[in-house]
Structure 1
């Protein structure tokens, strides 16, 4: 009779053989080094098949390590151009992969041979104390990129190596936020978060939006630039569920047109170029009084708004900072109207990065709303927001959400209203917690959040914009031979290395009124980004040019 150790050894050998067979179909390209960063792995799609196979292995190990909790895998490159693609893992709570596992992802991706991959896999099983007999559950999806189907095949090859030991759920083509939602809802054993399906997502948000808008609808028409990406599909599905409460006019919905994705459209184009997408401009609707529009990015996890200023006839951007300020002020007002007792008091705060416009930070702090500054990257913002009862976080690029703590939900559900106004405020706060995707930034959910606040305030885009004036700012991408020589500190607001460069940047800042500038290495590209802001556009331009030249000098390009 075979002993248990012998049986286990046999099973392990069978698994390794299956992994080897799949890995040989997806060998790692030579002279390519992969790094799992804030956005997961992201590069040219042609370089990614081996990575997708190995990510599948890690996702299964993560699920088994967590006793069968569902792990998500999203194949997307968000706002990047169409030749790129990427992949990232989603933890059971719907958040990004535990940072301590990012190193394991990088190690697996860079194994040069099948033999080293098998050795590393076996080492990880031991090191992470993974019981391979535990169940594993994986849910995955992709955006509309033409490279997606082949990369999904590589992912599935990795999952199939485990045979019946893995249960898989493919969502097909969908947005990154919906994948995050489904992961979170699947792992929520109470069933209170929502049904773990695309339909469940739509129904949850539609119900909350109807509660918030009430008899204030139907609202003014909204024009939505879908970046020729998967957001177009999601918007169509959702509006079919919602009905005509919010009349939506989708633009840039050519998901099947080669090269159209994010090309001269989308949130990143609007934010970086500070202008209307040409297709939106050509539509002509912006000349209509009070018209507002918004842009998603390629995987619909970012959103920015904009409109045409009537008297100045100029483009006006309402970015992540503007969204965060309006939402935080409104939620703060609702908390005050809820008239909660001292024991029930809820603490609200805003989390920003160094890219946040200085005027937005000043506006919030002058109104006694706490602001925390963290390093760029969703994982940093998300974790900092969790320290508040209600944490609002948005990057200036339009990626963000609002987190309601378990304590906040419990408090609101148990609160005793003292007046009709108090009862409504509590009802609305709870509805906002349902409307907002608690897992990750979500363009569709954030769009509804903005529309609900505007409806309650009775505002159009100009009234929203009037709160504060952004300081003129510039963001410059500087390609460098080696971005690793640039090391940022103080929530990426200062440079520790190269030595002496920070002093030169500060000297440049002192020469312009209200000058602020910082340099940070990209997490996904061989470049650094220079941010500069000042009291006037001319001074912002001058500061950006000066700091860009300093960066080039420090990197040996001058």
Structure 2
């Protein structure tokens, strides 16, 4: 039921008001819950159902209305609550919605906490309060407090910025950048959960209008968010939509000093590791998913955590991926030195990605693990998330999709021919495992 991103799926199928009610009841041992949602219209009834489930168990509910996910995560501590709930499907398409849970530290619920809530949902045996012990529900707006926190965390900067809000909940970025002294132009700024301006996920293809506006309008940089603004992607002043690995390298190099560590998922480019190593910064690999990156970022000596998909975590601020904070910090960096110049410093290596259909993906992965264990030195193999084999001059990763009947293959090397060879090796492993 609960993946690393909570419950997520099509409304009326995987995600229903009944499920939201039961999740609210499953949080019935808490005292106070903060809830907010992205602009999807289905979020209204899901919030109402979840709040009803909390309140009938005696839990008070603080309703933030439409709010960015990092605003919700930060508000757990601000409101003295025990849990935060984001009703959002993040970058997923409009027919989807979801429910993600947050701790007071800003970190998403880890696996033990998710399992605890899921067990209570399945048991469906809530401890309902008496008629005179029902929880309260009040509304408040913490977006302004989030914007103020960003302004406090980032130095003033006078830049020309185009922000593509993606019809989502990320308007806090516009407020914060304006308060920092920037001239801000917006795209798709009207919240609309049908995402009429562009699909919610901020990919190069979906952000072509942003790139063109930055390039032709001579803005200093462009910012793009997904529906709930936990993700941030960027366009440099020359109109180039920067890769997630390049952004990760640039942000991490600013956040970390020599001797620090940076948390990154197993599918991060080798270029990030090389770039940071030159600066005396070590990379720590985690499973894919911001909850795992956040857990690593919470450890001593880890100054930053990031995923190439657009999730960026500064543990000194919050353990939630905060897209608006990333937007403000990136803009401040651009004011010191143009983003295009910083990006040019980061090496680019050939990386190959493939997806292979596999209905029995768990069995395929088990056979891949066995084959790799028999062929490669254990010191070169990681099974942290899928199977990753380090060959010194490159690596390959075989990993089952968390949501689709696919096995994903990634291969990278500093040399194109070597990257192709590692790709073929990984594909052969998967194909052989499918035939067994």
Task: Give the TM-score, by structure 2 length.
Answer: 0.74
1:499 aligns with 2:435: no
Query: 2 CA distance for matches of 1:529 and 1:522?
Result: 7
Q: What is aligned with 1:409? A: none
Q: What is aligned with 1:165? A: 134
Please list the CA deviations of residues 6-61 of structure 1 after superposition, one character each: whole Å capped at 9, or x if unmatched: xxxxxxxxxxxxxxxxxxxxxxxxxxxxx211100111111211321111012222
How big is the shift at 1:482?
A: 3.2
Change (3 A) 1:533 1:42: same
SS at match of 1:97: coil
Q: What is aligned with 2:341? A: 463
Larger CA Rg, structure 1 vs 2:
1
CA contact (8 A) 2:173 2:327 kept: no
How big is the shift at 1:170?
A: 4.8
Query: 2 CA distance for matches of 1:308 and 1:469?
Result: 19
Q: What is aligned with 1:396? A: 308
- Quick one: which of 378, 387, 403 aligns to 2:290? 378
SS at match of 1:551: helix
Query: 2 CA distance for matches of 1:352 and 1:162?
Result: 49
Change (3 A) 1:513 1:70: closer
- Quick one: which of 167, 173, 191 aligns to 1:235? 173
Change (3 A) 1:552 1:45: farther
CA contact (8 A) 2:256 2:303 kept: no
Farther-moved stretch of structure 1 (78-87 vs 540-549): 540-549
- Quick one: which of 20, 23, 42 aligns to 1:52? 20
Query: 2 CA distance for matches of 1:530 and 1:201?
Result: 39
Query: 2 CA distance for matches of 1:83 and 1:46?
Result: 9
Please list the CA deviations of residues 297-330 of structure 1 after superposition, one character each: whole Å capped at 9, or x if unmatched: 22111112233768xxxx45242x4344334433
1:303 aligns with 2:232: yes
Query: 1 CA distance for matches of 2:340 and 2:95?
Result: 38
CA contact (8 A) 1:480 1:552 kept: no
Unaligned runs of 5+ in 1: 1-34, 123-131, 134-160, 172-195, 337-346, 405-436, 488-494
Query: 1 CA distance for matches of 2:287 and 2:344?
Result: 28
Q: What is aligned with 1:517? A: 396
- Quick one: which of 180, 185, 196 aligns to 1:249? 185
CA contact (8 A) 2:413 2:419 kept: yes
Alignment of 1:124-163 (within 5 A): none
Please list the CA deviations of residues 314-359 of structure 1 after superposition, one character each: whole Å capped at 9, or x if unmatched: x45242x4344334433456xx9xxxxxxxxxx6321111121101
Please list the CA deviations of residues 142-167 of structure 1 after superposition, one character each: whole Å capped at 9, or x if unmatched: xxxxxxxxxxxxxxxxxxx9874323
Query: 2 CA distance for matches of 1:165 and 1:545?
Result: 61
SS at match of 2:12: helix
Q: What is aligned with 2:278? A: 366
How big is the shift at 1:295?
A: 1.9
Change (3 A) 1:280 1:198: closer
Change (3 A) 1:256 1:541: farther
CA contact (8 A) 2:215 2:238 kept: no
Alignment of 1:372-451 (within 5 A): 372-389=284-301, 391-404=303-316, 437-451=317-331
CA RMSD of aligned residues (A): 3.8
Please list the CA deviations of residues 59-86 of structure 1 after superposition, one character each: whole Å capped at 9, or x if unmatched: 2224489x98431111111111111111
How big is the shift at 1:538?
A: 6.8
Q: What is aligned with 1:224? A: 163
SS at match of 1:96: coil
Query: 2 CA distance for matches of 1:244 and 1:384?
Result: 31
Query: 1 CA distance for matches of 2:131 and 2:406?
Result: 39
SS at match of 1:523: coil
Query: 2 CA distance for matches of 1:370 and 1:548?
Result: 30
CA contact (8 A) 2:237 2:339 kept: no
How big is the shift at 1:453?
A: 2.6
Q: What is aligned with 2:267? A: 355
Unaligned runs of 5+ in 2: 33-56, 61-80, 382-387
SS at match of 1:317: coil
CA contact (8 A) 1:350 1:370 kept: yes
SS at match of 1:400: strand
Query: 2 CA distance for matches of 1:75 and 1:445?
Result: 21
Query: 2 CA distance for matches of 1:256 and 1:83?
Result: 13
CA contact (8 A) 1:324 1:350 kept: no
1:485 aligns with 2:350: no
More helix by share: 1
Q: What is aligned with 1:422? A: none
Please list the CA deviations of residues 236-287 of structure 1 after superposition, one character each: whole Å capped at 9, or x if unmatched: 4445xx4471122222335437353762x643x23xxxx5723335x45414
Query: 2 CA distance for matches of 1:395 and 1:367?
Result: 20
Query: 1 CA distance for matches of 2:161 and 2:373?
Result: 44
SS at match of 1:448: helix
CA contact (8 A) 1:255 1:261 kept: no
1:528 aligns with 2:399: no
Q: What is aligned with 1:105? A: 117
Query: 2 CA distance for matches of 1:309 and 1:504?
Result: 46
1:77 aligns with 2:89: yes
SS at match of 2:328: helix
Change (3 A) 1:108 1:486: farther
How big is the shift at 1:393?
A: 0.3
Task: Give the TM-score, by structure 1 length.
Answer: 0.59
Change (3 A) 1:307 1:542: farther
